[in-house]
Amino acid sequence: MFRYELASATGLDGLRKVDFEPAPLGPTEVRIAPRAWSLNFRDLAMPRGGYPGNRKIQTDPPLVPLSDAAGEVVEVGAAVRRFAVGDRVCPCFFPDWVDGELEESQLASALGGAADGVLAETVRLPEHGLVRMPANLSFEEAACLPCAAVTAWQALMLARLTPGQTILTLGTGGVSIFALQIAKLAGARVIITSSSDEKLERARELGADACINYATHPDWDVPAREWTGGVGVDNVIEVGGAGTLERSLRAARVSGAVSLIGILTSPEQNPSPMLALFKRLTIQGIYVGSRVMFEALCRAIEAGDLHPVIDKTFGCESVDDVRAAYQYLKSGSHFGKIVIAR
Amino acid sequence: MFRYELASATGLDGLRKVDFEPAPLGPTEVRIAPRAWSLNFRDLAMPRGGYPGNRKIQTDPPLVPLSDAAGEVVEVGAAVRRFAVGDRVCPCFFPDWVDGELEESQLASALGGAADGVLAETVRLPEHGLVRMPANLSFEEAACLPCAAVTAWQALMLARLTPGQTILTLGTGGVSIFALQIAKLAGARVIITSSSDEKLERARELGADACINYATHPDWDVPAREWTGGVGVDNVIEVGGAGTLERSLRAARVSGAVSLIGILTSPEQNPSPMLALFKRLTIQGIYVGSRVMFEALCRAIEAGDLHPVIDKTFGCESVDDVRAAYQYLKSGSHFGKIVIAR
Amino acid sequence: MFRYELASATGLDGLRKVDFEPAPLGPTEVRIAPRAWSLNFRDLAMPRGGYPGNRKIQTDPPLVPLSDAAGEVVEVGAAVRRFAVGDRVCPCFFPDWVDGELEESQLASALGGAADGVLAETVRLPEHGLVRMPANLSFEEAACLPCAAVTAWQALMLARLTPGQTILTLGTGGVSIFALQIAKLAGARVIITSSSDEKLERARELGADACINYATHPDWDVPAREWTGGVGVDNVIEVGGAGTLERSLRAARVSGAVSLIGILTSPEQNPSPMLALFKRLTIQGIYVGSRVMFEALCRAIEAGDLHPVIDKTFGCESVDDVRAAYQYLKSGSHFGKIVIAR
Amino acid sequence: MFRYELASATGLDGLRKVDFEPAPLGPTEVRIAPRAWSLNFRDLAMPRGGYPGNRKIQTDPPLVPLSDAAGEVVEVGAAVRRFAVGDRVCPCFFPDWVDGELEESQLASALGGAADGVLAETVRLPEHGLVRMPANLSFEEAACLPCAAVTAWQALMLARLTPGQTILTLGTGGVSIFALQIAKLAGARVIITSSSDEKLERARELGADACINYATHPDWDVPAREWTGGVGVDNVIEVGGAGTLERSLRAARVSGAVSLIGILTSPEQNPSPMLALFKRLTIQGIYVGSRVMFEALCRAIEAGDLHPVIDKTFGCESVDDVRAAYQYLKSGSHFGKIVIAR
């Protein structure tokens, strides 16, 4: 059995493919054989040691990378009730966060960060940390869901998405495109930003109602507000980081929401929270989501026949294949998701 | 200026068309000239004296009937800020319920029941009790909204409608068809019932995912549950009355909702609430909705270009015209809304 | 090791005390040794076969009775992380309902009904189905919590209890007295009913603000409303059954809540749900609660140094001891909880 | 009739006492005669021009200062239904925010900032912008409520305060002390900070469970977390500004809340929002509250017989009296509220 490991926190040079001996299953565990994986922006941080809380890579390398996969159940523990061999499933980003609010103890289960991830020929997981794939998706499409799509789902649902709301989503990465697709599925209007007119055109084809090129409109919050008739947007899917948060707060309506998702890279640009106060904003930290949220997302995907947008698919044969996927993500030129497949 | 009145609580024979002298406007009042009206099931009760709480017709007839209209603003009070002459507006069913939870004092403002309604050449209303019509609707379409569409909206939103949920709506009257249309707009699945295969076919054209003929399947809760894979539906739009509530409780999933809307006509068939307990159901009484709900609905209608389904339009020239509209509603053969227009 | 069993669904005559061989623990299981137990109204139904859903006693007797206990951890499975030997714990009524909304699959875990209960020398439970006892309680006091106190907690919290609300609780059984104590702890006002002036006096000592003798005031909803200045109460803790629900609906304020808890014994008195509609009431089915609710309750009990009210404590030595506890509960003369202790 | 005015945005030197001619009442307006007023931290900003959004003082001085008062109704408009002459009332901070979410149009009604305030012999207000005083309070006590107590109430209620939660409140100003009193009334635990051991001692007498001197513990978030057993607090009442927000985010539990209230004075210390993301925090901007919140607060105050803590009372006879009140507030040596009375 093969798996990939990040041997140390010294960069992608530490990525290696190794053989491993699968451990026997506990009574409530399930073994899955991933058929496809996907990358997320957070995965770029792991080769450098991750961010606070990713103890595995920091204190006990190597780390098996990646949180996102889709595959088949190949073995079940003696007491497993929810799954059978042959079931098509995805792992949950936090296998221990089943329902309700995230608790501190569940953080340690984050795949490919606090805990070993899924870039392996087989993976052992607790049955409570798996969901059934949407029936309308291929393995490659379903592999896009666990981190980015669940994040977009939680961000939209915590702020009580309703038809007719206006959502502003920043950029065209995985979370943003899922937010666009889910919000359209739910009858909302969507404003999207990008520095590329070509990407904006693709977003428009996916249903975006308004497209703002932030290169030519660096004050993108102003046209966003104008597009809502001066009211402001109901929820900003804020994936951009310190450089954008101040504008996101401006773009939101009074009593609106800003869903904080982005991994911030320039802390010196921290925004003033004064606007949050005087506009009675909710700034909601979003950290992926629970299994129950993932299951609800799967129902929505099936009901609306939503298909994740895959930008490019890489192989999993060699370290070079996998490294190429990481480097493509790093280049930032993608639109939607980057997949690795068998 | 003409208006219609129900002279007494003795039936439709008491309907008459009279001249009236419009009162001058208070500083925060608006005068509208309706261009179209619509009927609701509740309006059938008023000629018979209404149900408990409709004090106007019971204690101080005559009553100007109907809650639903759409028209133009023709005059505004000195301090009016939200509207100008020429604006296209609808009255709110409860002009005094602006936002938040319904309060007892607001019940007295119910148009065409506790207070005089809108079947008149002009109507005087507080500016806080009006909404701007959706821009994509005609007067006849917008006249369908104030009671039935707002009711459907509140029923779906209080139970936190999300994409992928399954909604069960009973029959093909105004509320049910709006519930179907709004739920589809929001990415949900919809099961609908009717005793007419022809009506079910029309519902399917509007997006219904599953259609159950309750004449041929009197145990319609069974196929409804089966269609959800045995889980049960997330929310039942219960407009049917005592004869259906027990089945609605059966059709709902554990921790699901039953939105109680129907005007019950056979109280001897009251259901046992035991199922509510053992399934942890929420039985939510729905009584139309607030102005803020109506405004959110209008945004959704514009975003999704939703058009109300009008079954038939009647004239307003003579008492016979209007009575014909009432009688057509009473016959129960309609699908969607019945409109009166100038 | 001893345990009690209901041998059949033919009444308390089927109660017997037997020896049993404890099964070995799974890796995530915990063995506890109860030091005290408590009875709930539902336990009276089990010897007669239980109500719908209690499949164990119906299809596969014998059933170990009772859901409520408090005791010490005496053994833990190899992978148990949350508990250690010596910890003082209570079982959860639904060991599988950890957080979020109740799901159908979790119903099968209900102790002493759908599944074997806890009236035994030792009990084997999943670690996710236990909570740490409040530090300020004795075993006998903590044994009162799992069913009645968690039920009262969920009923109050789902309706968003705030200081200054008025709660109406019916009777002086376990759930009602817990609702009284928790609501007072939370700064609410409480109206309580009983047919005994002596019990009402004891309720007043526990903080009840208004006491209504329903024997002398059979129309108890009228004085309850009057006490609120005619507004109605925010939440009715409805434990009474069919005979009281109609009055509970009348006692609630517009947009208020009725928490449906009672096991109904006279279905022919089913109330009309019309009031629910015209008052926009929420009738909320309450079925005990989740582990996370129980943990929140324990924090509240510690913060407020709340002590359950124990009416009488029985022994566990003989079948006669235990049967006496059941019979005392059946007599209805208790105030608060009935306990069995070692 | 006298009133006070801030003649310009040049500081307290611009404060003057003038005669004015009361305008006649509109049909839904009420005239009140304040008997007491209170000051809030925001009032210190008005003589300097206020903060963004306080258009009145910036563009159209003079401004009648202060939002907080309590007094008697002395005259009612012809159509007023909610109040009568002699009623004891408080104005709402935002007279136009009745219920539901704050909307942009309601910001313009903020008393003593965006609109003229209440430091006058009589004040004219819309009837929808008044609440009845709690019956257990004096005018001086009730004058403390409109801004600070409603702010504390919204901050606690939006985060769904329950008994047993732990609240961390910063400092001993008006909002903090109300948050302490309300949280204790609701059965919560409270941690409070101050740089004065004497003030901490007074807080303890009001019920504070843990007191942290931030002068001797500049890393006060560490003992706050420790006191919760390492879990973190449920809600931080963040009145401190940029210098404290980073620590507040650290003090909160995973999935907890930080209620953002303080008027920030050192924007260069803006915190990184990264913690919000990785702990899934809700940072909730709080801007006083609605009339319905104020009414709920009044019910809680009556139910718990809560009395605002008044530090010192000043006269209203001369400009010097009033200026002394402002200067005492500015000194920061107070504990609770500063009142001006007739």
Residue A320 in domain = yes
Contact C332, C342 (CB under 8 A): no
DSSP symbol at B104: H
CATH number at residue C214: 3.40.50.720
Position D195 in a domain: yes
Closest CA of chain A from D196, distance in Å: 27
Joined together, the tokens standing for residue A178 give: 């899922």
CB contact under 8 A, A277 and D285: yes
The reply to whether A231 touches chain C by the CB within 8 Å rule is no
**DSSP SS3 for A122:** coil
The arithmetic mean of pLDDT across residues D169-177, rounded, is 96
Nearest CA in chain B to C271: B270
At residue A270, the 3 state secondary structure works out as coil
Which of D26, D79, D100 is opposite residue B100, by nearest beta carbon?
D100
With contacts defined as CB-CB under 8 Å, which chain D residues touch A267?
272, 274
A312, A284 in Cβ contact below 8 A?
no
Q: How many CB atoms lie within 10 A of CB C266?
A: 10
Cβ pair C56, C6 in contact under 8 A: no
- Chain B positions touching C243 (Cβ under 8 A) are none
**Per DSSP, what are the bridge partners of residue A17?**
A4
Do C228 and C133 lie in one domain? The reply is no
For tokens 């510690």, what's the residue? Answer: C302
- Closest partner residue to D270 (CB to CB) among A101, A253, A272 is A272
* Cβ burial D277-308 (10 Å sphere, 16+ → b, else e): bbbbbbbbbbbbbbbbbbbbbbbbbbbbebeb
Picking from B259, B286, D209, D164, the residue whose alpha carbon sits closest to that of residue C157 is D164
**Could you tell me if residue D220 is inside a domain?**
yes
Placement of tokens 């732990």 in the chain: D166
Query: Is the pLDDT at B114 greater than 60, yes or no?
Result: yes
One-letter amino acid of B49: G
Dist CA D103 CA A255 (whole Å): 7
D120 Cβ neighbours under 8 A, 6+ residues apart: D1, D2, D3, D4, D20, D34, D64
Residue A226 has pLDDT above 80, yes or no: yes
Mean pLDDT score of chain D: 94
Chain D hits for C298, CB-CB cut-off 8 Å, are: 164
User: Are the Cβ atoms of A51 and D286 closer than 8 angstroms?
Assistant: no
Query: When comparing pLDDT for C341 and B50, which is higher?
Result: C341
Contacts of B15 (CB under 8 A, 6+ apart): B4, B5, B6, B7, B47, B65, B319, B322, B323, B326
Instruction: Please give the torsion angle defined by the CA atoms of residues D30, D36, D41 and D42, in that order, rounded to the nearest 10 degrees.
Output: 20
Do A275 and A329 have their domain in common?
A: no
One-letter amino acid at B247 equals: R
Amino acid at A292: V
B37 or B54: which carries more pLDDT confidence? B37
- Whether D70 contacts D34, CB under 8 Å: yes
Touching D (3+ Cβ pairs <8 A), the chains are: A, B, C
D225 in C contact zone (CB under 8 Å): no
* Averaged pLDDT for residues A59-87: 96
Q: How many CB pairs under 8 A join B and C?
A: 118
Closest CA to A169 of A242, A256, A258, A264: A258
**The token pair that represents A52 in the structure block:** 């606070």
Contacts of A101 in chain D (CB under 8 A): 254-255, 280
For A265-303, letters b (16+ CB in 10 Å) and e give eeeeebbbbbbbbbbbbbbbbbbbbbbbbbbbbbbbbbb
Mean pLDDT of chain A, nearest integer: 94
Confidence of residue C140 (pLDDT cuts 50, 70, 90): very high
Q: Give me the pLDDT at residue B59, please.
A: 84
Q: Which residues contact D285 (CB under 8 A, 6 or more apart)?
A: A273, A275, A276, A277, A278, A279, A280, A281, A282, A283, D260
Question: What is the per-residue pLDDT across A47-58, written as a single tens digit (0 to 9) for each?
Answer: 988 877 777 888
B293 in any annotated domain:
no
CA atoms within 13 A on the CB side of D224: 32
Q: Which of C187, A108, C65, B108 is nearest to D81 (CA)?
A: B108
Residue D239 at interface with chain A, using a CB cutoff of 8 Å: no
| Helix (H/G/I), strand (E/B), else coil: D250 | helix
Do residues B26 and B126 share a domain?
yes
Please name the residue of chain C whose CA is at the shortest distance from the CA of residue B103.
C254
- Chain A residue whose CA is closest to C126: A28
For A254, which of D102, D254, D278 is closest by C-beta distance?
Answer: D102
From first CA to last CA, the distance across chain B in angstroms is 14
Q: Are D211 and D231 members of one domain?
A: yes
Q: What is the mean pLDDT of residues B272-300?
A: 93
A264 and D255 within 8 Å at the Cβ level: the answer is no
Which pLDDT score is estimated for C242? Answer: 57
Contact C224, C233 (CB under 8 A): yes
C274 and C331 in a single domain? The answer is no
A294, part of any domain: no
Residue B131's pLDDT is 98
- Residue C236 in 3-state DSSP? strand
The answer to whether residues B155 and B281 belong to one domain is yes
Indicate if C156 and C228 belong to the same structural domain: yes
pLDDT band at C240 (very low <50, low <70, confident <90, very high): confident
pLDDT reported for residue D264 = 52
* CB atoms A260 and D276 under 8 Å: yes
- DSSP line for C52-121: TT-HHHHHS--B---SEEEEEEEEE-TT--S--TT-EEEE-SSTT--SSS--HHHHTT-BTTTB--S-BS
Provide the greatest CA pair distance for chain B.
61
Whether C98 and chain B come into contact, CB under 8 Å, resolves to: no
Query: What is the three-class DSSP state of A188?
Result: coil
Asked if D11 and D22 count as a contact pair (C-beta separation under 8 A), the reply is no
CA distance A231 to chain B (A): 13
Query: Nearest to residue A335, comparing CAs of A184, A214, A144, A202?
Result: A202
Q: Which chains touch B (3 or more CB pairs under 8 A)?
A: A, C, D
Taking residue B181's Cβ as centre, other Cβ atoms within 10 Å add up to 24
Contact present, D302 and D140 (Cβ < 8 Å): no
Strand-pair partners of C192: C169, C211
For residue D164, being part of any structural domain is answered with yes
C130 touches chain B (CB under 8 A): no
- Given this model, what pLDDT does residue C83 score? 98
Q: Does A26 touch chain B (CB under 8 A)?
A: no
Minimum-distance CB partner of B188 among A157, A160, A303: A303
Q: Does D62 fall in a domain?
A: yes
Residue of A nearest to C105 (CA): A82
3-state SS of D187-236 is: CCEEEEEECCHHHHHHHHHCCCCEEEECCCCCCCHHHHHHHCCCCCEEEE
Please tell me which residue of chain D has the smallest CA distance to A154: D280
Residues C175 and C115 both lie in one domain: no
State pLDDT tens for residues C4-23: 999 988 899 999 999 999 99
Q: What is the pLDDT of residue C57?
A: 83
Has residue C180 got a pLDDT over 60? yes
Residues 141..180 of A with a Cβ closer than 8 Å to B: which? 157, 160-165
Beta carbons of A257 and D282 less than 8 angstroms apart: no
For residue B241, the enclosing domain spans 149-285
Query: Which H or E run includes A74?
Result: strand A68-76
Closest Cα partner for B91 from B53, B49, B147?
Answer: B147
Q: Sign (positive/negative) of CA torsion D195, D199, D201, D204?
A: negative
pLDDT digits (tens, 9 = 90+) for A250-285: 999 999 999 999 755 555 566 777 788 899 999 999
Q: What are phi and psi of B193, to 5 degrees?
A: -120, 150
Q: What is the dihedral of CA B81, B82, B86, B87, to 10 degrees?
A: 180
Count Cβ atoms within 10 A of the Cβ of residue A21 and give its class: 0-12 exposed, 13-18 middle, 19 or more buried.
exposed
pLDDT in tens, C56-89: 888 889 999 999 999 999 999 999 999 999 999 9
Tens digits of residue pLDDT in C295-312: 999 999 999 999 999 999
Q: How far apart are CA B182 and CA B188, in angstroms?
A: 9
Same domain, C104 and C222: no
Chain position carrying tokens 């030129």: A333
Q: Does A292 touch chain C (CB under 8 A)?
A: yes
Between CA C107 and CA C24 the distance in angstroms is 24
Contacts of A285 in chain D (CB under 8 A): 273, 275-283
Contact status, residue C79 vs residue A26, Cβ threshold 8 Å: yes
Lookup: tokens for B234: 């997330």
Residues 6+ apart with CB under 8 A from D249: D258, D271, D275, D276, D279, D281, D283
Are D267 and A274 within 8 A, CB to CB? yes
Query: Quick one: D170 and D254 in the same domain?
Result: yes
pLDDT at position A52? 72
Res A247 pLDDT > 90: yes
What residue of C is the nearest CA neighbor of D209?
C303
Query: For the whole model, what pTM was predicted?
Result: 0.97
Cα–Cα distance for residue pair C256/C165, rounded to 1 Å: 11
B202/B246 same-domain check: yes
Q: Which pLDDT value is given to residue D55?
A: 79
Q: For residue B256, is it within any domain?
A: yes
Q: What is the pLDDT of residue A54?
A: 77
Q: What is the CATH number of the domain that holds A59?
A: 3.90.180.10
> Which residues does C177 contact at the CB level (< 8 Å), separation at least 6?
C203, C206, C309, C335, C336, C337
Say if residue D268's pLDDT is above 70: no
Q: Give the DSSP H or E segment for D247.
A: helix D242-251
| Same domain for A281 and A204 | yes
Rounded Cα distance between D14 and A58, Å, is 60
**Rounded Cα gap, residues C322 and C331, in angstroms:** 15
Report the residue from D28, D79, D99 with minimal CB separation from B98: D99
B273:C255 CB<8 A: no
The Cα B277–Cα C10 span in angstroms is: 25
Where is average pLDDT lowest: A51-60, A291-300, B300-309? A51-60
pLDDT tens sequence across B138-159: 999 999 999 999 999 999 999 9
- Report whether pLDDT(C218) > 90: yes
Domain count, chain C: 2
Please report which confidence band the pLDDT of residue B267 belongs to, taking 50, 70 and 90 as the band edges. low
